[in-house]
Chains A and B, each alone.
Chain A
Amino acid sequence: MRRADGERRAARVPAERPVTLIVNGVRRLVHAPPNRTLLDVLRDTLGLTGTNRGCNQGDCGACTVLLDGASVNACLVLAVDADGSDVTTIEGLAERGELHPLQRAFVDEGAVQCGYCTPGMIVQAVDLLRRNPEPDEQAIRIGIEGNLCRCTGYAKIVKAIAAAARGMKAGTARPGPGRKPATTTTGRKK
């Protein structure tokens, strides 16, 4: 599978391809070669740096985004493969400066320390609460089992998700991200 060393240096440069994404409700046209991931495009091309690169191997969940409504590790999705998809990142959760109930709960419950895992954790929790609006403690822990945190010991994260779920159910907080009308902008990787 690994080819000889000399052969490797005959660098092929695969062509960039147009990739259309609807990111946080906005249609974006970018160009990316096949070896760019969705995470690369979000961060480097579109400047959406809220999604963090933690392991780049799908093991830590720091780069979790919603792809067509389902949570994925953006580091494992090829950008070309996401063409035509709808992507929601952490930047797409708050509306008009008002925090999403999960964001609010993470602040209020002290679920944030260094904060590096936080965006992925919150986006994963959005996916969890959509599937199960009333998760118990165990369901919450299973729901975020693919997200690592080194600071908090998870207790306050679990509490925050439970609090947000209660708030959303009681209608004191509005549900997941809404959609703004699509507009078109272009971004091209330099």
Chain B
Amino acid sequence: MATRVVGTRVPKIDAWEKVTGAVRYGHDVTLPGMLHGKILRSAHPHARILRVDTRAAERVPGVKCVLTADRVRAGKLGFLADQPVLKGDKARCVRDEIAAVAAASEEAAEEACEAIRVEYEPLPAVFDPVEAMEPGAPTIHEHAPDNLVKHRFDFRYGDPERALGRSAHVVEGEYRTQFVAHCCMEPCFVLATFDGQGRLTIHSTTQVPYLMQGHISRALGIQGSAIRVVQPAIGGAFGSKLDTHAYEAIAVLLARHSGAPVRILYTREEEFVCAPTKQPMIIRMATGCDAEGRLTARICDATLDNGAYASWGATTPHIMMIGVSSLYRVDNVAFSARSVYTNNPWSGAFRGYGNPQGTFAIEQQMDELAQRTGIDPVRFRIRNANHPDSVTPQGFRITTCALQECLDTAATRIGWSAPKEPWEGVGIAGMIHVGGGGRVYKSDGCGVIAKLDDFGRLTLATGATEIGTGSDTAMAMLAAEELGIPVRNVSVINNDTDVGPWDVGIHASRTTFIAGNATIRACRRIRDRLAQLAAPELGCGPEALVFADGRVSRADDASKSVPLDRLVRSAHFRDDGEMFVGQAFYDPPNRFQDPQWRGNVSATYSFAAHAVRVRVDPETGRIAVLRFVAAHDVGKVINPLGLEGQIEGAVAQGLGFALTEQVQLAAGRMQNASFLDYKMLGPRDVPADIDLQFIEKPDAEGPYGAKGVSEAGLIPTAAAVANAVADAIGCRIHELPLTPERVLAAIRGAG
């Protein structure tokens, strides 16, 4: 299909306002009379709260409102509704919000919080998920005496135990992954305000504005119709804003009780301590293959440190399971997983949603099996790779699949067979992920209203949130393509629940796929109507018209054409005039999984392979990443500029996950809550040589054939690095991150 806009390098449509500083992030939003909210958090990771005395706080000049749990009427938050907004009976982690203050200045709010007296009765605490499951462990929630989150994952297909028993080769191992912080450059923000008639507006950086309406409605007893969510520009999310957080509900309560707008901004340290993390996992896995290297069975069991409350993060095994069951063809699979309450700060969703953790284990075992069978690891993977037009044990319908091409490309470009210096290694890993939405809610849809005005400018109103991924630009490009107008003539309004039609939220790499499809459909409604109007004037049938360069023209004779804006005006300003508004709601043809975890959860699946060359310093354990290849099956590239940025950024996050990043907790308290001590990678740490390879096999359901990609770029990264390090040092490390100290210990241990 010849395209004019799709496939070209288009700068992000909000880039101008971002490079000039004109854009407004949360902390740039102020309202007249606005108060500053501040939260007092628990002194203990587990304690009964005996008494809270706020009298001194209320006397601090400038304080308008001090709230504790017993002063507010509030239900609970979280998809299992296990988290009180303010904690009144007991604190379950050091993040717990004991009291909150709204004051005229930030200093007054801080001073008031410091003046609150709290008496605690410390309780025995548990910080390890395995210990938390043992009999006699401290109980964190009364409703869960066994400390297990009531959301379990058990999938079986075939007879994996028996198949493993009959396998020529079996590898088994336990793999551990760490707490990782999202490190959004913008710390958490919320601003809540009620108008005179009781209608609430929440200025929020949420990834799920429409779900947030429901969360706040249920937790605080405010009618959904009285809640409007407005999003300023969002300085990073990466899954951290998939839940509605207690501080957001607290701001609403403070606004309600003080009668003034209330803003809460986190400090960076608060962000590290109080924003959710990636779920750490203990993964036990066994994989078998026959003598020819065909996979026979896999059994995987995962334990997640959920922390004190259940967020969407507790459901990450849902997506982790996709890789376990369906990255490679395996006829016998068992997967089980549980999230365990501990007194650690609670974990949330993180880009990749459990899949990077699972892939870390899967792909190390693929290497080990390859070694046992004497087959080259790349060939071994290709032998087991999924094929297009197949169905996996979980019932995923693989439509297009370029995993084999990805593996081949990555291996070739990394110089798989090239000679290596001592202590140099190469590694490869593949991945599968949802590429056509992911049905984790009763609708996976997105609505778009397209409006073409008298000047030929198109406005898209949508609920599809933009968090920096460039989905806004992709939508503008698709609209421009459909209507034959320049991208600069498209506006995207995507930040107001009063304006945009519903969207489930930005997650699961779904926005370009789903909002893109909705955009195309909405624009086609306008185009079809315009074609009807233009056809008589141009003397042909509507199907014989093309939309390009701001004009509607005859396909066979470009000299017969009419400008789009004139066409609009002539239809507008006439008797019985009309407007050009098209709307569409696109809900992809994917399915909710059944209780046995079967069902085609995504409309299509994306694949990738990462290959990496590393050099290890054998005396310090330091790993240097020399070269990196990311080969991705993307269906179709809509905006190369945006796609490259997504993958480059994801690879950097994946390398951080692999090499340096870890939230270090001691007795539930973070020990490295700063950018100095939390080792997110800087400009000199990410290798300059990241080679991106995009393999285009258009997907029938995707917009112009595109699949979702935003998470794919970090899913196989850590696994590929671990394999390269194993190649370099001759032994395997099953725990992330691969810190110099850990690598050196492995080298010494093996020696």
Q: Which residues of A approach B to under 8 Å, CB–CB?
A: 8-9, 11, 43, 48-57, 59-60, 62, 89-91, 93-94, 99, 103, 106-110, 112-119, 122, 137, 140-142, 144-145, 147-158
Contact between B235 and A145 (Cβ–Cβ < 8 Å)? no
Instruction: Tell which of A112, A142, A148, A155 touches B185, judged by Cβ atoms closer than 8 Å.
Output: A148
Interface SS majority for chain B: loop
Known: A113-B645, A152-B645, A154-B652. A50 touches B20 (CB 8 A): yes
Chain B residues, CB < 8 A from A59: 268, 674-676
Say whether B114 contacts A8, CB under 8 Å.
yes
Given contacts A116-B236, A155-B690, A156-B648, contact A148 B680 (CB under 8 A): yes
The answer to whether A115 touches B683, judged by C-beta atoms less than 8 angstroms apart, is no
A8 to B115 Cα, complex, angstroms: 10
Q: What B residues does A103 contact at CB under 8 A?
A: 19-20
With A116-B236, A147-B682 given, name 6 new contacts (CB 8 A). A49-B24, A49-B27, A106-B15, A110-B9, A150-B653, A153-B649
Contacts of A152 in B (CB 8 A): 645, 648-649, 652
Q: Which residues of B contact A9 (CB under 8 A)?
A: 111, 115
Asked if B569 is at the interface of the complex by the 8 Å CB criterion, the answer is no
Residues in chain A near residue B20, CB distance under 8 A: 50, 90-91, 93-94, 99, 103
Instruction: List chain A residues, Cβ under 8 A from B185.
Output: 52, 54, 60, 62, 114, 116-117, 148-151
Known contacts A90-B21, A145-B683, A151-B649, A156 near B644 by CB under 8 Å = yes
Compute how far the CA of A8 lies from the CA of B60 in the bound complex, rounded to whole angstroms: 13
B22, CB-defined interface residue at 8 Å:
yes
Interface SS of A by simple majority: loop
Among candidates B19, B467, B684, residue contacting A106 with C-beta atoms closer than 8 Å:
B19
Q: Are A116 and B186 touching (Cβ within 8 A)? A: yes
- When the two chains form their complex, are residues B186 and A145 in contact, meaning their CB atoms are under 8 A apart? no
CA distance A11 to B674 in the complex (A): 28
B683 touches A158 (CB 8 A): yes
Contact call B645/A110, Cβ cutoff below 8 A: yes
Q: Determine if B748 is an interface residue (Cβ-Cβ < 8 Å).
A: no
Say whether, besides A55-B675, A114-B185, A154 and B686 are in contact (CB < 8 Å). yes
| Shortest beta-carbon contacts, A-B, top 4 | A50-B21, A114-B468, A115-B18, A116-B235
Residues of B within 8 A of A119 (CB): 19, 21
Within 8 A of A (CB), among B1-39: 9, 11-12, 14-16, 18-25, 27-28
With CB as the reference atom, state the residue of chain B lying closest to A33.
B107
Which residues of the other chain, A, contact B651 by a CB distance below 8 angstroms?
153
B703 at the interface (CB under 8 A from A): no
Tell whether B233 is near chain A: CB-to-CB under 8 Å: yes
- Chain B residue nearest in CB terms to A55: B268
Given A49-B24, A60-B185, A153-B651, CB of A115 within 8 Å of CB of B14: yes
Is B467 touching A114 in the complex (CB atoms < 8 A)? yes
The answer for the CA separation of A140 and B467 in the assembled complex, in Å, is 27
A selection of 29 A-B contacts at a CB cut-off of 8 Å is A49-B24, A52-B25, A53-B27, A55-B268, A55-B674, A56-B268, A57-B674, A59-B674, A59-B675, A60-B675, A91-B21, A93-B20, A107-B12, A110-B9, A112-B15, A113-B470, A114-B233, A115-B15, A115-B19, A116-B185, A118-B18, A118-B19, A137-B688, A140-B683, A141-B684, A150-B653, A153-B652, A153-B690, A158-B683
CA gap between A142 and B688 in the complex, in Å: 12
B74 in contact (CB, < 8 A): no
Q: Are B650's CB and A150's CB within 8 A?
A: no
Q: How close is A91's CB to chain B, nearest CB, in angstroms?
A: 5
Query: How many angstroms from the CA of A109 to the CA of B24 in the assembled complex?
Result: 22
**A151-B111 contact, Cβ under 8 Å, with A114-B186, A118-B19:** no
Within 8 A of A (CB), among B684-734: 684, 686, 688, 690
Q: With a CB–CB cut-off of 8 A, which chain B residues contact A155?
A: 644, 648, 686, 688, 690
Of chain B, the residue at the smallest CB distance from A94 is B20
